[in-house]
Chain A
Amino acid sequence: MNVPHPKPSPTAVAFRRGGGRLPRTVHPGAWWLWALGLATAASRTTNPLLLALILAVAGFVVANRRSDAPWALAFRMYLFLGLFIIVMRVLFRIVFGAGAASGHVLVDLPEIPLPEWAAGIHLFGPVGLEHVLGGFYDGLRLATMIVCLGAANALASPKRMLKAVPAALYEVGAAVVVALSVAPQLIESVHRVRRARRLRGGAQKGMRALRSIAIPVLQDALDRSLALAAAMDSRGYGRNRHLPRTIRLVTGVLTLVGLIGVCVGVYALLDGGTPRYLGVTMLPGGLVVAGIGFVLTGRRIDRSVYLPDRWRLAEFAVAVCGLGTGALLYLTSRIDAGNLYPSLSPLAWPELAPLPVLALAVGVLPAWLAPPPPLTVPRAGVMPPAPETPVRPTTPDRGDGTILREKSVR
């Protein structure tokens, strides 16, 4: 591929970097499956070494395969959120101290005596290394799981997810997608408002700055939610007036009853106290009823998708890698759980076993298996993306028009 430009276009660069593959967006479902697999892996261990490695793997894949879209910048925010979680966990461990000094005492804080009715609660007191490390391990585990979901948010366009939702689940799916995209949208709003303030030369600090950022951000987010809702409504999302009332009633009842049946069945299966036949009958029964409801609803909704995300080999590979990581760590926790949960008393170094390392190696593969993301032009107006279009089978993922709006704001 020869690009006649003196300076290679971002697409050409991505093409070369991607090993000769054309840049394209990966199906969001694939990234979500990958991230959920990593999060599952993180939930199976408290080994800080392993958790940090999972974090690094997620960060590496994001660094290699994220697009330039605004939501892709959200990953850093998730990292800060994770750091905040860890700090809070450790602080709480110190404030509500162990009460009893045991092990390696780092700092011997004086304990604040509490009245008799608050028995069992200790304020401060000696800070043991085991105690603090316990909080750190636990916080790191939660932070890693959240950062994994942040990686999915950074890699997959939240709005393209809506395209992949089955027709019957459309109303639910729209709500879920709107909820999932709240964090990226807020972050995007913060970026926009801060840039606008910089351009206006706003130099307030402290509380005033907070007010001048928070209110526009909230207003912006609300405006955009309303705009999204209006846009969806004008395109006929969730509109079912044209259906007869009885059909709507029947499908609704079927779906609801089926889902309740699934919930009861799962509860009965997991809880040892309930009779076994309850779970065995309710779960498949609920699935069948809900399935009938889905099919009936889905047949009534006609929906066409513009430029659908296809589930191709790369998507399959990405999803399998993530799920494989989760499965390998689950397997490890079944057969050799020794160093998944490093001992705190006596204090032991966290060690690494071959099987978790293999799981991590599988998890990092999407950094090469996934096709490179389509990169937009970094500065609007400097380089028009027009010449690249013939090279690509599809137009780049401008998706939902966010970027266009971004340009108009500038």
Chain B
Amino acid sequence: MARLITALALLALPAAARLTVAAPAAQAVDTSKGTPGYCPDAGGVTIVIDFQELGGTTIVRCARGDQATGHAALKNAGIEIAGVARWGEAFICRIEGKPGANSEPCIDTPPASAYWSYWHAPNGGSWTYSQWGVMNRKPPPGSFEGWSFAKNKTETTNPPPRVAPSRPAAPATQDPPPRTNNPQPPAGNGGNPGSSGNGTTSAASGGNSGKTGGGSASTVGGSNGANGTSTSGTDPLAPGPGVSGNPMEAEPPPAAPASEVPGTAPTESAAPPGSAAPSAQPSGITPQGQTWTGGEELATKKREGIPTTTIAGIALLVAICAAAGFTTWRRRTRADGSG
């Protein structure tokens, strides 16, 4: 019996032994997948995560390319999800570590009073509550996938994500403004479009496209004028100094390879090596006053090796099993001896 238990415990170990395992951070966006902000064109699926009552800034990320399922889109956008123990990731229970383990153990299907509702929308359309599971729906390219936490809501009062599902039109590459690697209010950014008082989100997404090379426009050094056109085209964006309130705003990297081939999934590592410090964060405020970011500030901290508590636990387990096995053996030998 003890041997059996030990074998059970040891079975699980070698499989996981060679893996680099991430520390269970509260929130983590996998920055190696997807790009922050809206998708620049119809070649990807934009994911909107609205935490609602859970707190936290709404996350907008893009899964580039064709997505097979809503689940794949989430994964490819770098969003961290957790399924329920019973059904696996077919039923999404936790997004970016929320709701926490204290309120939702994610063993069985979460209750109807607190769960992640699944929405979808075409570009420029309106949010629709999905009648399909996350594994069964193929999001069309260029569409939006929304996740909104529904707490104590009914079928009719389920809140859609509070970010309008429309891409900023014409993601023109903005001018590469003077570089400041540290986040700072846009007042200091001379040529920053954000300071020009125009659409902040366009600046952000422009910066994104510039950084990631997704933008098709190869003109670098476009002036404020060019920027102005881009912002005027993006009507859902809030005018005004929205960015100034957002400390996440930083400049795109200096040598943004604007001529990079669009369509290749760009990653953080594609950014030039000079811009190691705070990466460019597309972010903005919707007309409804909803702030959003690309979620890159939640990057996962990798931790190597097996934690000491795990080793201690295994040692304890082996000790108890050995004691139980010894007791069983002693009883058996004694029974045989006396009989």
Contacts and interface: CB of A to CB of B under 8 A. Distances in A.
Given A120-B136, A348-B22, A63 B331 contact: yes
Contacts of B323: 60
B88 A49 contact: no
Given A59-B1, A352-B309, A353-B309, A134 B338 contact: no
A377 B317 CA distance: 33
For chain A, give the interface size range. 35 or more
Contact of A63 (B68, B316, B324): B324
Interface string A118-158: 01101000000111011111101100000000000000000
Contacts, number: 183
Given A98-B89, A337-B102, A346 B21 contact: yes
Interface in A1-45: 7, 10, 13, 44
B309 A134 contact: no
B135 interface: yes
B4 A340 contact: no
Interface stretch (B8-16, B118-126, B211-219, B252-260): B8-16
Given A59-B324, A348-B22, A352-B312, A49 B317 contact: yes
A170 interface: no
Nearest to B20: A347
Interface residues of B, number: 63
A407 to B, nearest CB: 14
B5 A52 contact: yes
Central interface residue in B2, B82, B324, by most chain A CB within 10 Å: B324
B315 to A, nearest CB: 10
Contacts of A338: 24, 101
Contact of A348 (B24, B75, B85, B316): B24
A106 B14 CA distance: 13
A84 interface: no
A18 to B, nearest CB: 13
Contacts of A122: 135
A379 B339 contact: yes
Contacts of A140: 8
Interface in A45-88: 46, 48-50, 52-53, 55-57, 59-60, 62-64, 68, 75-76, 79, 83, 86
B191 to A, nearest CB: 39
A211 interface: no
B15 A102 contact: no
14 contacts: A7-B338, A49-B314, A52-B9, A52-B317, A63-B325, A86-B8, A129-B15, A135-B88, A333-B105, A336-B102, A346-B24, A351-B307, A353-B309, A377-B339
Interface of B: 1-2, 4-5, 8-9, 12, 15-16, 19, 21-24, 28, 30, 68-69, 71-72, 75, 80-83, 85-86, 88-90, 100-102, 105-107, 113, 133, 135-136, 300, 306-307, 309-310, 312-314, 316-317, 320-321, 323-325, 327-328, 331, 334-336, 338-339
Give the 4 A-B CB pairs with smallest separation, nearest first.
Answer: A346-B22, A379-B339, A337-B101, A352-B313
